[in-house]
Amino acid sequence: MHLELIKLEKTFNASILTKINDLLLAQYQIELWMKRDDLLHPVISGNKWRKLKYIIDHALSSGADTLVSMGGAYSNHLHALAYVGKVLGLKTIGLVRGEQPETLTPTLQDMKNWGMELEFVSRADYRLLRQYKNWHDLPGLKPRQYWVPEGGAQTLALKGVAELVAEIGIPCDTLCVPCGTATTLTGIIEAVPQQMSVLGFAAFKHADYLTAEVDAVLSQSRNNWQINLGYHFGGFAKINLELSAFIEDFELKTTIPLDLVYTGKMMYAIYDLIQKHYFKPGERIIAVHTGGLQGKRGFS
């Protein structure tokens, strides 16, 4: 790995695993832990660094001086990419979904402050960008520019995600993770032993296609995982009072902050499934906190 990345990673915190103490968990005889990837770094928290680490290492090895990627107005991925670019002295270009707002969101303002060039694209054109999966695929790339697919959804990302699993250090029955592109889920499936179940939670509607996408990327077929599609709360970044109340209550009980787009929905789902006897008494569950807390600035 390049020296610049090694120096950056030395500023990261050690892995933290927190046991959740809750009367409901005791009642159902469930042991619940959280892998606190939200505490990795003040800015590049959660799975965004996991996915970007070896992609950027490859970009540096390829002689790139500019990273080009895509995301929404509150994108955790673009936010992390812009910061890494600033720290490493790389130019960054963000293709942002939708029209330019009159006032930049806090996320976009951070990205601009860190030197990212923002280009706003229509939603139709944005959807077309998703077909370009490899670092050199994007039409019109200039010399020394490197394309990073949406959310860092590239094969190299799986290597970084595998390191997340290696840090856990205790056995468990089920490992849970929220899903956007399902890249983190795929990396976890690849890294865990076959006897461990992996349960993903889709953060948006109509996500059933993710199962085929994960299958296509896995190095070998596995039957120890699934994606739950039932807790999207109306769609990506959609919330309701029930979810908000759960998150507020969870944060008061545990002092662990949750985002409303990914980890908050997953934790609601886990608690709901526990009460529906989905998990057997005595099971140990580990939930991965994928960070993304900066995105909470988009919710009132």
| 65-115 pLDDT per residue, tens | 999 999 999 999 999 999 999 999 999 999 999 999 999 999 999 999 999
Tally Cβ neighbours within 10 Å of residue 64.
Answer: 20
β-bridge mates for residue 19, sequence order: 33
| CATH architecture under which domain 8-45+154-298 falls | 3-Layer(aba) Sandwich (3.40)
Scan for tokens 């970007």, then name that residue.
52
Is residue 4 predicted with pLDDT exceeding 90? Answer: no
List strands edge to edge, sheet with 197-202: 17-20, 31-36, 284-289, 174-179, 197-202, 225-228
| CATH architecture under which domain 47-152 falls | 3-Layer(aba) Sandwich (3.40)
8 Å CB contact between 299 and 260: yes
Hey, where are the domains in the chain?
Answer: 8-45+154-298, 47-152
Is residue 125 predicted with pLDDT exceeding 90? Answer: yes
Same CATH fold assignment for domains 8-45+154-298 and 47-152: yes
Higher-confidence residue: 300 or 197? 197
Parallel/antiparallel/unpaired status of strands 31-36 and 17-20: antiparallel
| 17-37 pLDDT per residue, tens | 999 999 999 999 999 999 999
Nearest to 18 by CA among 187, 170, 202, 201: 170
8 Å CB contact between 88 and 4: yes
